[in-house]
Amino acid sequence: MSALDPGLRAHFVAQAPRYLDAMNAADIISVSTPGLADHARLLTDRPVFVRRNFADSATLKLGAAVRSVARQGGFGMVFASGSKGHEADFATIKEEVATFLHAAPERHLTILGHFDMATLPSTIRARCEVRPFTGYDEYLRALAEADCALMPLADDTFNQCKSAVRAIDAAAVRLAVIASDVGDLPNVVTHGRTGLIAGQGMWTAALERLAADPKATRAMGQSARLNLETHWPGSRAPRIIAPELLDWVLG
C-alpha cells in the first residue's frame, strides 16, 4: 500500500468496510488462497472456503499456441506487474537482479504492465524494457519470449494471501519461474522441477543457475506445463476447490 498514490490508498481504505459488510451478508464466502481464507476467518463468522485459480481450457490452448515463440538473444527475464504497487515487490530483489545483469552484457529484463522506472537503479534501467499490457494472448506471447519469469513478493499480510496465478500463466507457455516463498506460490512451483523458490539473498544464485544451463531451464518449463495440465486444469479437483464448497453449491 505504501507504493500506491496516496489518493488511491485512501480510496482502498475507505472501501474496505463495504467489502466486509458484503462478506457478512453472505451465507458462505469463497476465496482464492488458503492464506486469504485464514485471514478472512479473523474478520467474519461466516464459513470460508477455498477455490483456487486454475488453468482453464482457454489458458491451456493459448499457452500451447505461443509455446514456439523464438527467444530473444542472450538470457531474458520477465516480470509481470498487473496493477500499481508492485514496485515494492521488485524492490526486494532489485540489487540481486542488478548484480546478475551486470555480470554479462547479453542479459536483459522485460517488465510487463504498470511500473515506475524511477524506482530502479540505473544498472537495471539500462537493460530493461517496459511493455504495456494488451490482450491476454499478447501477454502470454510476451512471457514466452523470455527464459524465465521473476515472481518476487514482499513478505507482508497482503502478499501472504496472494494467489499463484502468475505461475499458472508462465507454466502455460512452458516458462520456468523463480518465485518467493510467500503466498500460494510454493504450492504451485515445485523447487528444482518446475522452477525455483528463492528467499532473500538467493536470487542472484538462482538466476545464475538458470542462465548457466539453458537446456535444464527449458526442461523446467516443460515440467511446469505438464504439471499444469495434470494437476491444475478444470475447477473441481480437490486441490482447487474445497469439497465442502462443492457440496454446498451442488447440495
The model's pLDDT over 136-154, given as tens digits with 9 standing for 90+, comes to 999 999 999 999 999 999 9
Give alpha helix (H) positions in the chain: 6-25, 34-40, 57-65, 87-90, 94-102, 122-125, 136-144, 157-160, 165-172, 185-188, 203-212, 214-231, 243-250
- What burial class does residue 137 get, using C-beta atoms within 10 Å of its C-beta: 0-12 exposed, 13-18 middle, 19+ buried? middle
Which residues make Cβ contacts (< 8 Å) with residue 88, sequence separation at least 6?
2, 3, 154
Domain 57-231 has CATH 3.40.50.970: no
| Cα R_g (the chain), whole angstroms | 19
Q: How confident is the model at residue 236 (pLDDT cuts 50, 70, 90)?
A: confident
Cα angle 133-115-171, degrees, rounded to a multiple of 5: 55
- Which residue, 243, 249, 237, 114, is CA-closest to 187? 237
What is the distance of C-alpha 251 from the center of its chain? 34
Give backbone dihedrals phi and psi of 53, rounded to 5 degrees, phi first. -65, 150
Q: Which three cell numbers stand for residue 161?
A: 494471501
Position 136 scores a pLDDT of 92
pLDDT tens across 182-230, in order? 999 999 999 999 999 999 999 999 999 999 999 999 999 999 999 999 9
CATH 3.40.50.2000, the chain: domain bounds: 57-231
